Amino acid sequence: MRFFLALIVGVLGFVAVAPAAAGGGFATAGLAPPPDDVRAGETWVAQVTLLQHGRTPLTGVSPTVSIVNDETGERRAFPARETNTPGVYEARVELPSAGMWRYEVDDDFSQRHTFAPFDVSSRTPGGFPLARAAIAAAAALAAVALAAFAVARLRRGRAVPALR
């Protein structure tokens, strides 16, 4: 009977300890949020820091930064590439449209890390670049025309000596 009881205790002990032993490692992901004034159409260069067990820089993995639109459910994934700093990866995240977007990092090691959503503005950076260029060109052309008109008006008022 003691053997049977010892066997049960041994099996229960194994069952209790085995999942922790088989759990393996984990990684933590650090990621600064996008800038507050981020706009649709811009590219956010996301720097991801991966640490194995929260301490050791994790190298040799292929993490992915994903963004998910809260309203439409649209998901886009961007591969992150290793930088010269161990454990630091960089992803070029293209922000396709305005709205609330969540972002996640799949560390390619143990889990997916989720972060708070951020708002992407619908305004384009710096207004409309082509319209601004057209206005600047029109203003320059108007200034040249006004200067030419002024010179012609001055010349008409007095005789211009002939060049010999």
| DSSP code at position 65 | E
What lies within 8 Å, CB to CB, of 41 at 6+ separation is: 95, 96, 124, 125
More confident residue, 79 or 129: 79
Q: What is the domain class of 27-120 according to CATH? A: mainly beta
Amino acid, res. 2: R
Mean pLDDT for all residues in the chain: 78
Beta bridge partner(s), residue 89: 48, 82
pLDDT value of position 134: 59
pTM: 0.60
Q: pLDDT tens digits, residue range 70-114?
A: 999 999 999 999 999 999 999 999 999 999 999 999 999 989 999
Buried b (16+ CB within 10 A) or exposed e, 67-89: bbbeeeeeeeebebebeeeebbb
**For the chain, which residues make up each domain, given as ranges?**
27-120, 126-157
Identify the pLDDT of residue 80: 97
